[in-house]
Chain A
Amino acid sequence: MELIPSLDLLHGRVVRLTHGDFATAKVYGDAEEVLDALDVPRGTRLHVVDLEASRSGKPIETDIVRRLARRDLIVQVGGGIRSLDDAKRWLDCGAERIVVGTAATSSLLDLLVTTFGPQRIVPAIDVRDGVVRTDGWTRESNITMREIFARVESLAIPEALVTDISKDGALRGPSFALYRQLNAMTRVKIIASGGVSQTSDVISLARLGNVSGCVIGKALLERRVDLHEARARLAASNAVPERVIPCLDVRAGRVVKGVSFVNIRDAGDPVECAMRYEEEGADELVILDIAGDRSSIDTVRRVAESIFIPLTVGGGIRSVEDFRDTLRAGADRVAINTAALHRPELIAECSREFGVQAVVLSVDAKGGQCAVHGGKEVTNFDAIEWCKRGEQLGAGEILLTSVDRDGTNSGFDIELLRAATSVLKIGVIASGGAGTLDHFRDAIEAGGARAVLAASLFHDRVLTVGDVKRHLEAEGIPVR
């Protein structure tokens, strides 16, 4: 998948609008200066939009496009192309391809394709709530998505730019559902546009299969995504499978489970559960001692002796000694929670003593704040700030639990996950709220999580670990 930096031009400068509203224009500076600042290499495809032209219907920014083309950038340009002459003017400036929005719904599209060839035409299709929009997003068209793609396909146009305008510039993530819907509808490849705000979005789009390019505007300009890092992660991402992790909340030698940490009930024998989960394909196992007094150390030992997958253990770890004892009982990694909030240096001490890979910071978030004592008490630590601090102190991964969602089966808290994964380099394990197969997909795809954790769903055999892994794989997410 190609990463395509996007520059929206207005009065000679790079700007960004929110929801296509000219009144919201934010100015970033001269186009070439912006490209230099973003370190865009030669040979990169650029998406350039002449905003004034899209409103007035007349090409304005021809000089800039000429300069960009001279820098060995492959420019596709759009905005207000309503005649053969408009298109010719852009191509004469050195543009490689022209992006046609309004014209895509008219007979002009056929004329453009006949004159310049289907490879040089990129139909831009703006969608809001499943409805196609035209004229700078202000007017609803009476053509359906299915009709427009049938037309694009019949003209042998290979790629179409699809923007979900409710997502554009809002940095809330792209419209994965829309692109998936198009995958079933058309063979036309999609250049995804709108909503990309973190590197994981790029990776998730690439996994969809029908998305051949991804336009990134605001996220690059705001430095939320680094072009070089995103390219490198894209190259590496499919080799690294995402993980499915059953969690055993343990008390008095039994697996228990409650809703939002209360109404605890029995859910089985830990060793039996652990062995069954490994058999089903669990990539790792988490044991949380919910009494928080490390009374489950013997259970940890018994489980560790019966499985051959990594084991992470948390609950009541208050010191380097507790941490060491837990590793000795057979844990591969140990999760620290409340004690680190009282004394953050504990993270650094354990990381130095046992290695970054052994330290998991467990964060229970309730209304955006860190909760302690099994979620009963809320601190004034901001959950995301605390995750960042934990990473700096040497945590190898974050186990991020939404206390609000825990046990509700209503889905992982995607906003919370995005807030964390957009600012962390280390991985995040999504926890709390899993109820359906799609919830697991969404946590990874939209939430950017590197692992998904669930408890009651697996204990109650509503879903098996195998069900989840098969579903993720079917949705394009690599699993073991």
Chain B
Amino acid sequence: MNTTLIDSPVANVANIARALRATGASLDVTRDADAIARASKLVLPGVGSFGAAMSWLIETRIDHAIRTAVANGASLLGICVGHQLLFDASHEMGTTPGLGLLRGEVHRFEGPLPVPQIGWNRVSGGQAILPVRTGKIACPPLFEGIDEGTAFYFVNSYAARDAASEIASAEYNGRFTAAVQQGRVFGVQFHPEKSSRAGLRVLRNFVAWN
């Protein structure tokens, strides 16, 4: 199955493409809205400003294409700002609506640690993966083979907190959502393409998932 990488100008597409290829993905890198709407496996990258990234999606109608693909059963992985775009809205410089595929909003980190967060941070199983009654912690497919507390590389000033779809969280000026999954929609706040072996494993898990 081909993986379609959305060629956003507000993203580090080359690095993510290289990382995806390293996991064995056969890759289409495109900004063609029709191709994106037909895709069965999508990656939405993003760095920098939420507003700029969202504007580009709207201008190119790729926002609709993504929603169409997801409605038709495609799986989707948002990375960094691409992950933030999955939510209802972000409060970066005013309030900007996002793709609205997941419930929740993105807020600025406030607290004693310097913002942006730049560096490695440990990720723990979030609320969605704790079916406490069975006494077992189900591993979400994205984190197959990844140990609890594994560190990933983050660069962000904003994050969602306590998202209902949270599958992993991390601590920085309080607890924030590090990864989400709802059905076939996934997102990671960290940069898997800069997180060495663990990051490549997450990408491979997404690429291999059916």
Contact = CB atoms under 8 A, between A and B. Distances in A.
Contacts of B170: 239
Interface string B150-181: 01010100000000000000111100000000
A236 B193 contact: no
B193 to A, nearest CB: 6
A241 B120 contact: yes
Contact of A239 (B122, B153, B195): B122
Interface of B: 14-15, 18-19, 22, 48, 111-114, 116, 118-122, 151, 153, 155, 170-173, 193-197, 199-200
A239 B172 contact: yes
Nearest to B192: A308
Contacts of A349: none
Given A241-B151, A308-B22, A332-B194, A236 B116 contact: no
A310 B172 contact: no
A239 B114 contact: no
Contacts, number: 75
Nearest to B200: A308
Given A308-B193, A308-B200, A309-B194, A356 B116 contact: yes
Interface string A321-364: 00000000010100000000000000000000001110000000
A232 interface: yes
B114 A425 contact: yes
A229 B110 CA distance: 12
B112 A355 contact: no
B120 A427 contact: no
Given A241-B151, A308-B22, A308-B194, A236 B173 contact: yes
Contact of B121 (A232, A239, A330): A239
B116 A357 contact: yes
Closest 6 CB pairs of A and B: A480-B151, A232-B112, A239-B171, A229-B112, A357-B155, A357-B116
B23 to A, nearest CB: 10
18 contacts: A232-B111, A232-B112, A232-B173, A233-B112, A236-B171, A236-B173, A239-B121, A239-B122, A240-B119, A240-B120, A241-B151, A283-B120, A308-B19, A308-B199, A309-B196, A355-B48, A396-B116, A425-B114
A442 to B, nearest CB: 20
B206 to A, nearest CB: 15
Contacts of A357: 116, 118, 155
Interface string A235-249: 010011101000000
B121 A308 contact: no
A241 B121 contact: yes
A480 B120 contact: yes
A289 interface: no
